[in-house]
Structure 1
Amino acid sequence: MKKIFRYISIFSLAVSVMGCKSFVDDLEEDPNNPSGKSVDVNNMIQGVMLADALLHEGEMARMAGMWTNQFTGVDRQYVNLNQYLVTAGDFDSPWSTMYYGTITQARLAKKKAKAELNPKVEGVAQVLEAHAAGTAAALFGDVPFSEVTVSETPAFDPQEEVYADLQVLLDSAVANLELNKGILKGEKDLYYTGGAQQWARVAYTLKARYYMHTGDYAKAEEAALKGIASPEGNMVTPHGEAYYSLNVYYSFGQSERVGYMTAENAFAPMLIDPAQEGAFAQNRNNAKTDESARFNYYYTGEAGAYDLNYADEAAFGYNMGFPMVTYAETQLILAEARARQDNLAGAIEALNAHRSKLNEQFGEGAYQPYLITDFAIGGIENNGSLAAKDALLTEILEERYVTFIGNIEAFNDARRTDNLLGIPVKGTASKLPERFLYPQDEVNSNPNTPNPLPDLYEPTAVNK
């Protein structure tokens, strides 16, 4: 792992100055030619896994965490980032990791695997491509997709079309993986030691995620039922003791940029800190939930002086794995999708399944099972005159918010629900940002970049 993470660290710096124009360099070379630059497809796919991990655990995740008030930027450029004061250049590096490091390399691995009659690796490449491209569409709106690796200046496909294409891509991934043929070496698979069925379940949970993004709750429920079936099937990026395999949050906060980002006065720790008057239980009128252990898992300190918890076995500990696609998300998709379709009993069932696993992680009895009557007027999340459905939906969304601490999906939720939770806005802004900015490198190199450029507060198509 040490050599692998050294490669990814150096690689991420190298691609940070590239726009889409460079994505097609050397594509005329035959990846199946054994001479010259031929690379084993299992090595290729591991590189894609690492780039995808860096994408979802690195810069964009930290920014999403600050913009959803889970973290706080307190030093140097992070003071500006915390208050949404960004420029297009701030997105050059993550865009390159997303496109050159992940999507382009996934397509090359997919092409090589297909030529070698290796559907297992082809399917994994498709899942990783969909994971990165779905994040791109969610955060930026219209993005290059259909012409990536085809044109030096790829067109920007409409966001809704990208989501539709991702569903087709994930269906193809499932079909390839269900063949369970080909060779994915266990030591090259960071997540499932070569298990095709686990990857297929990840594909279904991603399908459900993207249906939620586009508001198709019936299809989200259908896909989630085939998704990750237990925490043992979670897609969690592993980390270790070597410097180059550290948890990325730990590496940033304890080595590279000490003191740049804390959780001072942040909303998320205040919400779940049992020591505060506005804590989880009191704020939600929720006597069935004790968030003491979860608070201590993510945070340290007290109101006004919170920080991320970097201790061993804490969320941001040096060797703590990072959750990418999980059983928790799958169950919470089921809960929300069912509630929005007026199946409140089914929603409660999925939410309780998730809570039972929280008990296993944070202590038996901390998360007692819910009844629909708990959400009546005067009950959980219902201090006024809400219908039980609306109170339950608020509870589900608030549970997603604290489940996704440090994860980009928290920012996606805030925008698609029009900030239903009332996450406090920072600085002088009047609302939360609606998107990330197109990177300056892409604006400079690709004439197909949307013009006029959307600003930070213009909703993407699916969130209008």
Structure 2
Amino acid sequence: MKNINKIFIAITVFFVIVSCDKEFIDPINISDPEVEGSVENLIKLINGVQQRYSTDRAGAIYTTVTASGLTADELRLINPGNLAEAELINGGNEISINNGILRSLWGELMLVRRESLTVFENADTAAADEAEANSLKAYALFYEALANGTLIQFFEQVPLITEQEAQFNSRAEVLADAISDLTTALGYAQSGISSSVSSSVFQSVDLENSIQALLARYNLMAGNYPAAVTAANAVNLSVQSTWSYDAAVPNPISETYGTNNVVEAKNDEFGLPDTLLPDPTDGRLDFYVTIANDPSTNEDAFFSVGFFDDNLDDIPVYLPGEMLLIEAEALARQDQVPQAITVLNEVLTKTAAGDAFGLGANLPEYSGAATQEAVLEEIYRNRRIELFMSGMSLEDSRRFNRPGPNDANAERNRNFYPYPDTERDNNPNTPADPSI
């Protein structure tokens, strides 16, 4: 059982909102007695956690895509009056501890984690039977792991326990905890999700495939390469798992970027250096970016399309191409270079018709040097293109040891972010901020 001492005093107003034909509770506007004994309300809270993560300008989709995109040179700033975004594109020591995007990224993910634990801790007492309880736990552990795994991509350390003056945990500890939670969640999910739960949760997220995808992602980040390959191979690449939106709860990137007054795609180079620019015939260029008139300059400029062209566009939880590239990278890092090239070629030759989301490079097979260094460089190039605006670019830039903020020809302007003042002011154990 998860151990948590709750210090967040919840507001006692009870909000139930309807979106995509499902009801959800706003996690910031509940009190525990209203959900503890009710499976129905625990399910609504699961839906609320999903909405908290994936929607609104404060949610993790907006903050991770925007922060990593500005830090790793994917995005351009249209209006420097957006102060939080301006700090991120300037980088270095110009990013303040009261940066609004980082405050939201940290705070909203902590809330996702807290309320996931509320579901987990109350599942046994609320559920009618073990299958129903385990189904609730599977969703709770998935979202807890997602929150922790996302936080550790942007901050050097993260506290795993929610309590007064919590100690912070290392990157290795946080990733290990996320992997453990996902492994437990997978066991619950593979036992079968109770229909009493599955009928009422948002069903755009394919739980079992998404758990395997996060296991692949976090095992790769942790350096557990055989486990990353196993999990990536277990994902059904023909299945779509997405964050879904409707008129009441729109796609947060499209809604915000679409005002032409915040940030947008910088160009069609995906933050890559001149030595790794995309092939001009790569089918993913037109999928992700387009040229149109920019009202702020009255000149042609690049704009993001793909999963961000319309307020109703779904955003993938993971991409099939990410799973292939995880497998290719994990094989290459184990010196299994020929096998890595074979998997890499699946990404390079993939057509739009052969991808669950219509995302295909449609390129020839890899013809470069069959060395670990060269193949990893090609994998990095394809991750930056395939996973454009997925929130993974900062993590990838660090992991592949690309030039950082203190290096010549830097490709990112920070390594990790400073801890928000909202955490530091309330927890004296908050570590010193990284220099950059």
Residue 103 (structure 1) aligned with residue 103 (structure 2):
no
User: For the structure 1 residues 366 and 140, does the alpha-carbon distance in structure 2 shift closer, same or farther, using more than 3 Å as the test?
Assistant: closer
The one of 392, 401, 404 equivalent to 1:418 is 401
Residue 454 (structure 1) aligned with residue 430 (structure 2):
no
The one of 64, 78, 96 equivalent to 1:87 is 96
| Maintained 8 Å contact 1:154/1:448 | yes
Local SS of the residue matching 1:42:
helix
Which residue of structure 1 lines up, in the alignment, with residue 296 of structure 2? none
TM-score by length of 2: 0.80
| Maintained 8 Å contact 1:2/1:245 | no
Which residue of structure 2 lines up, in the alignment, with residue 141 of structure 1? 156
Which residue of structure 1 lines up, in the alignment, with residue 74 of structure 2? 70
- In 2, distance between residues paired with 1:171 and 1:160? 16
1:147-162 correspondence to structure 2 within 5 Å: 147-148=161-162, 151-162=163-174
Aligned residues: 397
Which residue of structure 1 lines up, in the alignment, with residue 236 of structure 2? 229
TM-score by length of 1: 0.75
1:163-202 correspondence to structure 2 within 5 Å: 163-182=175-194, 183-192=196-205, 198-202=206-210
Percent identical among aligned pairs is 21
Encode CA deviations 1:16-56: one digit per residue, 9 max, x unaligned: xxxxxxxxx966x484346xxx8622211111111222343
Local SS of the residue matching 2:204:
coil
- In 2, distance between residues paired with 1:268 and 1:10? 37
RMSD (Å), alpha carbons? 3.6
User: For the structure 1 residues 215 and 279, does the alpha-carbon distance in structure 2 shift closer, same or farther, using more than 3 Å as the test?
Assistant: closer
1:353-392 correspondence to structure 2 within 5 Å: 353-360=346-353, 367-370=362-365, 374-376=367-369, 388-392=371-375
Which residue of structure 2 lines up, in the alignment, with residue 220 of structure 1? 228
1:201-212 correspondence to structure 2 within 5 Å: 201-212=209-220
Q: Report the CA distance between 1:262 and its aligned residue.
A: 2.5
Q: Report the CA distance between 1:200 and its aligned residue.
A: 2.4
- Unaligned 5+ residue runs, structure 1? 16-24, 193-197, 283-289, 377-386, 458-464
The one of 104, 109, 122 equivalent to 1:112 is 122
1:200-349 correspondence to structure 2 within 5 Å: 200-226=208-234, 228-232=235-239, 234-240=240-246, 242=247, 244-255=248-259, 258-264=260-266, 267-268=269-270, 280-281=278-279, 290-291=281-282, 293-301=283-291, 306-310=301-305, 315-349=308-342
- In 2, distance between residues paired with 1:364 and 1:139? 27
- In 1, distance between residues paired with 2:204 and 2:89? 32
Q: Report the CA distance between 1:212 and its aligned residue.
A: 1.5
| Maintained 8 Å contact 1:65/1:408 | yes
Residue type of the partner of 2:95?
V
| Maintained 8 Å contact 2:404/2:411 | no
- In 1, distance between residues paired with 2:44 and 2:383? 35
Which residue of structure 1 lines up, in the alignment, with residue 11 of structure 2? none
User: For the structure 1 residues 114 and 326, does the alpha-carbon distance in structure 2 shift closer, same or farther, using more than 3 Å as the test?
Assistant: farther
Local SS of the residue matching 1:325:
coil
Q: Report the CA distance between 1:127 and its aligned residue.
A: 1.0
- In 2, distance between residues paired with 1:43 and 1:9? 4
From the two aligned structures, give the one with the greater helix fraction: 1
Residue type of the partner of 1:44?
L
Which residue of structure 2 lines up, in the alignment, with residue 460 of structure 1? none
Which residue of structure 2 lines up, in the alignment, with residue 380 of structure 1? none
User: For the structure 1 residues 357 and 245, does the alpha-carbon distance in structure 2 shift closer, same or farther, using more than 3 Å as the test?
Assistant: farther
- In 2, distance between residues paired with 1:305 and 1:351? 34
Which residue of structure 1 lines up, in the alignment, with residue 344 of structure 2? 351
| Maintained 8 Å contact 1:72/1:264 | yes
| Maintained 8 Å contact 1:56/1:324 | no
Q: Report the CA distance between 1:341 and its aligned residue.
A: 1.5
